[in-house]
Amino acid sequence: MNDTRIAIVTGAARGIGAGVAERLAADGYAVAVLDLDEAACKKVVARIEAAGGRALAVGADVSDEAAVAAAVDRVAAELGAPSVLVNNAGIIRDNMLFKMSVDDWDSVLAVHLRGAFLMTRAAQAHMTKAGWGRIINLSSTSALGNRGQVNYSAAKAGMQGFTKTLALELGKFGVTANAIAPGFIETEMTQATAERIGVPFEQFKEGIAKETPVGRIGMPADIAHAVSFFASEGAGYVSGQVLYVAGGPKA
């Protein structure tokens, strides 16, 4: 093994996760591109390799304890011990409270919170042993409340409390934990939201851009840039923070 640091990015087959994986690879990390469907990760791996980076496609359900343990073991064996973990995997099951099923609630919390817990518990063992690590959790402006997203909002608010406690517990081992709370980012997930409410995506984006102080919507690269900072050597004195990347003041 060389001195290359290893990063794991969950939910990395598309959208924000793919953008983060490619940015970390450009920063010099070897990247485990993890998602539910391993085959879907391979196009991201191919882009990273074409740009001269090193990556591994890993299929795993982050809410499954055994699958997570096997995935992290595989990363450690094939790439090296992980020192950066980006908990990005997420799903939406939007509905108003009175129409929301228990399954809609449970599935969203399982992927976001249980998934982040399982991935972090597995990865931190390598980080604490090495005396260096970076955990970066994806929250959302929905943590502040968002109509029709009681499950997602609860999960994303939970990610912030989870992050702050990780910072308290892991700091003495050289491991930082921070959260990024994106505003509206152009992804397949936000396109699905527009479809659900029956608004053309371009019109949906224009409306949000008008309401955003910087006058545009966010892109995966905006989030990837924030991840790059938190993962860096120079961010070692920043921990337990929530950074809203939303084109204006939030929180």
35 within 8 A of 16, measured Cβ to Cβ: no
Side by side, the strands of the sheet bearing 6-10 are 55-59, 30-35, 6-10, 82-87, 133-138, 175-182, 242-245
List of residues 6+ apart from 51 with CB closer than 8 A? 22, 25, 26
> Half-sphere exposure (CA, 13 Å, Cβ side) for 218?
25
At 182, which helix (H) or strand (E)?
strand 175-182
112 within 8 A of 44, measured Cβ to Cβ: no
Q: Give the Cα separation of 16 and 19 in Å (integer).
A: 5
Determine which one of 29, 152, 237, 244 is catalytic: 152
Q: Give the Cα separation of 9 and 233 in Å (integer).
A: 18
237 an active-site residue? no
Q: Which residues are catalytic?
A: 152
